[in-house]
Structure 1
Amino acid sequence: MTLRPVAEDDLPALERFLTEPEVSSPFQWFGWWDIRRWRRQWADTGLITEDGGHLMVVRESERLGFVAWRKISSSRTTHYWNMGIALLPDARGKGVGTEAQRQLVRYLFAHTLVKRVEADTESENFAEQRALEKAGFTREGVLRSVVFRDGRWRDGVRYSILREEVAPDGSPATASIDASTSGD
């Protein structure tokens, strides 16, 4: 499983998340809106800018979904990344989300100066919470009534990972420390 830039022939796979409710359900369907946005952004920027981007999650030639990140400014001089993932239904529940998020964190720390990457999910999305924890993220807390979806307000959960918590291979830094000291 790898991440790669979005190619023009990937756009129909991305657009499925905007046009097929069953692909985005149960946690990412927010109704139909601007179904050509990714096509316009791809034509303009290739879906990667200084303020964020999208990468495809693929296994060989199979498209599994995408990861995305966006810049969050926390002060005049400081920013960090907020990231997310959307997987096609057939890719869910197989460890793809954990690995894709681990790879995106490694990519962002390798190619930008940020110290923090965060991710948010709905409080009822237990699979995503497990995936983030397996990828080394720390649960920070609940955001009350932060998402309106399917007729009601829903709580979210925020996770983060800091640069020093990630080993060069993308695994949690504590795992590499534990492994290197286990023979002592």
Structure 2
Amino acid sequence: MDVHRPAAGAAPGGVVLRPAGESDLDLLEALTNDPDTAGEYQWFGWHDPGYLRRRWRDHGLLSADGGMLVPTMDGRPAGLVSWHRTRTGPQAYCWKIGLVLLPEARGHGIGTEAHRLLVRYLFAHTQFNRVEATTEVENRAEQRALEKAGFVREGVLRGFDFRDGQWRDHVQYSVIRSDFGDG
């Protein structure tokens, strides 16, 4: 199975995930460090502007504990997907994933397909059984994207994240291998 290709039935030139190149770094910095590009639910204030460049230089934004890939649509970068290892028990871990799309890429199904491709990639190349995602309770678009991508809503995490001067509730989602047909 080629995990970088669109799902069956997707339009030609659909969403593809690829490693970030040096030419993507300005885009990735804007998605994480610019309020207009990051959007309402992803803007957490300015931070170290060289962080992503150092990570890219050190390990290409890919490591055993996590990484970032660039979802593209018709060859054009549409945003970023990320994952990091999270402990779930004394000897167990899962992946926690995230997604940020460029403003012009939102609302076109790219997020749903990028989530689906990332889960397929993680299940194909790691032994972890679970992938988690959270999003703010008010972020209905991301909740729909996660559900369409096969994630199961598990519940509300109260006071989970601090953004824009307030503690925010999040909705917890997950998918396990058997949900995704890889059990």
Query: Which runs of structure 2 are paired with 1:116-155 in the superposition (5 Å)?
Result: 116-155=130-169
> In structure 2, what is the equivalent of residue 157 of structure 1?
171
TM-score, normalized by length of structure 1? 0.89
Partners of 1:15 and 1:38 within 8 A in 2: yes
The answer as to 2:52 corresponding to 1:38 is: yes
The answer as to 2:40 corresponding to 1:23 is: no
Q: 5+ residue gaps in structure 2?
A: 1-14
> In structure 2, what is the equivalent of residue 10 of structure 1?
24
Partners of 2:68 and 2:83 within 8 A in 1: yes
Runs of 4+ in 1 over 6 A off after TM superposition: none
Q: Report the Cα offset of residue 133 of structure 1.
A: 0.3
User: Do the aligned partners of residues 70 and 19 (structure 1) sit closer, same or farther apart at CA in structure 2, a change above 3 Å counting?
Assistant: closer
Larger radius of gyration: 1
> In structure 1, what is the equivalent of residue 107 of structure 2?
93
Q: Secondary structure at the match of 2:78?
A: strand
For residue 68 of structure 1, the aligned residue among 79, 82, 89 is: 82
Count of residues in Structure 1 that have an aligned counterpart in Structure 2: 169
Could you say what the CA RMSD is over the residues aligned between the two structures, in angstroms?
1.2
Q: Report the Cα offset of residue 19 of structure 1.
A: 3.5
Residue identity matched to 2:70: M
Q: 5+ residue gaps in structure 1?
A: 174-184
> In structure 2, what is the equivalent of residue 178 of structure 1?
none
Q: Secondary structure at the match of 1:159?
A: strand
Partners of 1:3 and 1:55 within 8 A in 2: yes
Identity %: 51
Q: Secondary structure at the match of 1:41?
A: helix
Q: Secondary structure at the match of 1:15?
A: helix
Residue identity matched to 2:156: V
> In structure 2, what is the equivalent of residue 54 of structure 1?
68
* Structure ranking higher in helix proportion: 1
TM-score, normalized by length of structure 2? 0.89
> In structure 2, what is the equivalent of residue 179 of structure 1?
none
Q: Report the Cα offset of residue 18 of structure 1.
A: 3.3
Q: Secondary structure at the match of 1:94?
A: coil
Residue identity matched to 1:96: I
Partners of 1:18 and 1:35 within 8 A in 2: no
